[in-house]
Amino acid sequence: MPRRLVTLCTRSFQWASIGVAIVWLAGWACGDDWRWSQWLFWIPPFAVALPATAAWVVTRVWRVGHWKRDGRVQAAIALAAVGMGLWRTVGAGPAAMPDERAVSVLQWNTDWPSGDDARSIAFLAANHADIVAISNRGSITSPDLVRAWAGADARVVGAGPFAIITRLPVIEARQIAVGGRGRQLWWVARFEVAPPAWNGRTLRIAMLDLPSRPTIAKALIADGLREACEQGGLGEVDLVVGDFNATDGSVIIDRCFPAFRDALASCGRGWLATWPRSFPLWKIDHVLTGSGVRATAARTLDPGVSHHRATSASIVSVEGG
């Protein structure tokens, strides 16, 4: 290959890698408020590491110009992106410890109709929780099937496309809001349960399922969600769970639930991303804890079906919260 063409190819790889890194950083600086910026905000760090690694290999092989210096630049970009990716998607939190005060919560978007698959029933039967919070529920939340995978004393309580399956006393189940059109409907519901070990204190849960279309600005979703929760009377809650279709740092979380902490971010263990299930790169399913409770352990689980992984968390009451 002519030396001039080798130089051109090498420089193209190098500048393409630097360009991707700049775009990625711009996305983080701008956030997902706008339609154009949310595309950049969603670029996974590992997608930045790939072109940088390719540019590093080409630079080392063809040795054009100041190839050692240029190689160090590409290696720095790749390592920084991989480091950021691991920091965001791998948790080193504690393993769940037995605690009579803790309430175990399993949150999962079954992504109907895959939630009616026999594999869903097998997954739920193998992963017991005090509260199973299911979005886009299908026939697996029918009373007869619930008895099969959750036991005869479990009950299912629904509100809109949501259901909680629990043995705990249920105080309230109410749909708060619904909006959107066609396949881009979004929903909010409120549940309240009374864990016996909490000495009369209840656990108030908001469940969400927000639009997935990337052409809808997340700031518009955040403003609509906040207004709908106020008009629908959501009130104070301890947990917010569901499919946000928004990642950590999203304007939706910052505006609507600024005082809440993400259980996976605070004490998650293992791989924390939830979507797409088979090779998850984004954490769009969340369990957010308010000031009255805290998560002591959290992890994701692969149900073997649906497009989403499930999130399991142990929740304890904070005295005086």
Note the pLDDT tens digit of each residue in 33-63.
Answer: 999 999 999 999 999 999 999 999 999 999 8
Q: Is the pLDDT of residue 275 over 70?
A: yes
Answer yes or no: do 201 and 75 share one domain. no
pLDDT band at 98 (very low <50, low <70, confident <90, very high): confident
What is the pTM (predicted TM-score) of this model? 0.93
Q: What is the pLDDT of residue 179?
A: 85
- Give me the domain span that covers residue 180: 96-317
Instruction: Judge if 11 and 133 occupy the same domain.
Output: no
Section 99-105 average pLDDT: 93
Same domain, 251 and 115: yes
Question: Are both 174 and 62 inside the same structural domain?
Answer: no
Summarised one tens digit per residue, pLDDT across range 163-218 is: 999 999 999 999 999 987 766 789 999 999 999 999 999 999 999 999 988 889 99
Task: Give how many domains the chain has, as a whole number.
Answer: 2
For the chain, what is the mean pLDDT?
A: 94
Q: Which two tokens stand for residue 52?
A: 């940088």
Same domain, 101 and 205: yes
Residue 183's pLDDT is: 65
Give yes or no for a contact between 132 and 303, defined as CB atoms under 8 angstroms apart.
no
Last residue within a domain, chosen from 65, 91, 117: 91
Which residue shows structure tokens 């099937």?
145
Which pLDDT belongs to residue 320? 54
pLDDT level of residue 100 (50, 70, 90 thresholds)? confident
Task: Note whether 58 and 108 are same-domain residues.
Answer: no
pLDDT > 90: percent of the chain: 85
Whether residues 10 and 110 fall in one domain = no
* Residue where a domain terminates, one of 91, 125, 150: 91
- Burial class (CB within 10 angstroms; exposed 0-12, middle 13-18, buried 19+) of 64: middle
What integer is the mean pLDDT of 126-152?
Answer: 94
Better-scored residue on pLDDT, 213 or 292? 292
Q: Which amino acid is at 205?
A: I
Say what the pLDDT of residue 4 is. Answer: 82
Question: Is the pLDDT reported for residue 115 higher than 90?
Answer: no
* pLDDT per residue as tens digits for the range 223-270: 999 999 999 999 999 999 999 999 999 999 999 999 999 999 999 999
- Give the per-residue pLDDT at 46: 94
Mean pLDDT to the nearest integer, 107-121: 88
Question: If DSSP codes are grouped into helix, strand and coil, which group holds residue 319?
Answer: coil
Residues 87 and 100 placed together within one structural domain of the fold: no
User: Residue 105: which of 138, 136, 137, 127 has the closest Cα?
Assistant: 127
Dihedral sign, Cα of residue 166, residue 171, residue 174, residue 176: negative
111 Rama class: left (phi>0) / alpha (psi -120 to 50) / beta = left
Q: How far is CA 128 from CA 90, 97, 237, in A?
A: 24, 15, 24
Per-residue pLDDT, averaged over 132-144, amounts to: 93
The pLDDT of residue 182:
65
* Rounded mean pLDDT, 101-119: 90
Give the max Cα distance, the chain: 79
